[in-house]
Structure 1
């Protein structure tokens, strides 16, 4: 089990620093955003499992040759079996660290989910006071604002899309369709849950620079996925005009206020719709999608990152 612990520790280090750094600079991700998002999730989950697993396996080494036998040995130790070898201070420290770290990750996720749900509830309350239902679009609210603004508010029972009067009056019908299709794709594909998971990961490990890097990379990929969905309804030029109109209005608002304020979308736990250079470049000069062989290779790496730590936790003898 010691060899397994060393391997999991090495995997955790690789997934915590060099791998996210390399993936954030990779150019193929814009050609296959779905596979890239799945790979980012696998890196986060595999890294967490490896960090916890390396300490857990190390701590359970005196109690058994694998996780099942070690749990059985722990139970025998608690029931007072004198034949079970008592773990030393170092092993107890490793076990305590693994349990505390796992509890910390779960608690951070629960806290982030609770905070986000409260923010959305407050935001829905304000919308009920300051907006009117759209007469032509279901599950859509219109706020009386001169700036072109569009965002979505996810919900368990019913999600809504929020549009401003300025967006309806300043954008053409096709540009409005582009914006609405973009925002509703966030709701249909539940991007809010993905953002929530990476936000919690960033809050749980603020000292790890790549946790913030992962969050920003996933936000960009989600915007690209929403752009692809919008391109099924409108042409590329129309989508670009709509994106630039909304982004320019948001930038002007930030300039007037003199500070960088969080958008409404970010407040309710959704991507802020940032117009990054990679996103614009992808729309201005489209490239061919990633080949099927490369896609399957990325999927294979994704599955391997999830399966490898899980299998080694249950059966560490496989590594030997």
Structure 2
């Protein structure tokens, strides 16, 4: 079991740092945002399983040749008050480290989720008070504000929001492009896709790879929404709408925002060729295999 624990630890560390950093800098995800999002989710899930599993497997190694044998023995030893006596110091420390990591991951995820849900509820209440339903787009609300702004508020009672400035600045195709983009976020629940990575990045902000994962996933969901919107209207209409929206950014906006918008505009105007079908299938199979590796190691160790 010690070798299995070592392998899981190495896998988890690789996924958390060099693999995440390299994947965030790769060019192929822009050619297959859906596949890349699936692969990122596999990286996060496999990395978490590997890091947590390594501590558990190593910590319980003295109690049995396999994890399925060691767990019942650990329960019995704990009930008898002898768990610490039957484990060495390093094994106890490994279990405590796994427990601390699990509590940290779950605690941050719960805290981020609760904070997000509360903010959405307050925001939704304000929108219902200040926004005006727009009959031309069921479910959309218009805010009386001259700056062109559009966004969605996801959740069970989602909201799609446009400012009056959007309707003044954009022609009907541009408005349709904006609506298609935001509705893609709502329909595909991109908020749930990005939320674990927000928590992951907050869990260990000193690990650059985990922060890169959060930024890369956020960029990919925008690519995906852009692709859907570009399939509903002419790409030029979408880029024109994004320019109008981006032009409303404050002068103090970070240069990274402008750089990200420029990259999106260039990708819409000159879309990269999609990955060949065989490669897209391989990406999805690789994501499945990546999750299967630590799962199988834990079940068979």
2:231 is paired with a residue whose SS is coil
1:306 to 291, 294, 299: 291
Distance (Å, rounded) in 1 between the aligned partners of 2:69 and 2:122? 49
- What pairs with 1:221-232 in structure 2 (closer than 5 Å)? 221-232=220-231
Q: Which runs of 5+ in 1 are unaligned?
A: 261-271
Q: Structure 1 pair 273/55, CA: closer, same or farther in 2 (3 Å)?
A: farther
- What pairs with 1:1-320 in structure 2 (closer than 5 Å)? 1-80=1-80, 86-156=86-156, 158-250=157-249, 254-255=250-251, 258=252, 275-316=260-301
Q: Which runs of 5+ in 2 are unaligned?
A: none
Contact 1:134/1:140 (<8 A) preserved: yes
Distance (Å, rounded) in 2 between the aligned partners of 1:76 and 1:227? 56
2:160 is paired with a residue whose SS is strand
Give the drift of 1:135. 2.5
| Alignment coverage as a number of residue pairs | 299
More displaced stretch, 173-182 vs 14-23: 14-23
Structure 2 equivalent of residue 269 of structure 1: none
State the TM-score, normalizing by the size of structure 1: 0.89
Give the drift of 1:273. 11
Give the drift of 1:109. 0.8
Q: Structure 1 pair 121/305, CA: closer, same or farther in 2 (3 Å)?
A: same
Q: Structure 1 pair 277/46, CA: closer, same or farther in 2 (3 Å)?
A: farther
Q: CA RMSD in A?
A: 2.0
Distance (Å, rounded) in 2 between the aligned partners of 1:73 and 1:293? 47
Give the drift of 1:237. 0.7
- Which protein has the bigger helix share? 2
Distance (Å, rounded) in 2 between the aligned partners of 1:273 and 1:218? 18
Distance (Å, rounded) in 2 between the aligned partners of 1:241 and 1:202? 33
Q: Structure 1 pair 81/259, CA: closer, same or farther in 2 (3 Å)?
A: closer
Distance (Å, rounded) in 2 between the aligned partners of 1:136 and 1:49? 47
1:142 is paired with a residue whose SS is strand
Cα deviations by residue, 1:207-244 (Å, 9 ceiling, x for unpaired): 21111111111111101100111122101111110011
Distance (Å, rounded) in 1 between the aligned partners of 2:286 and 2:197? 20
More displaced stretch, 280-289 vs 105-114: 280-289
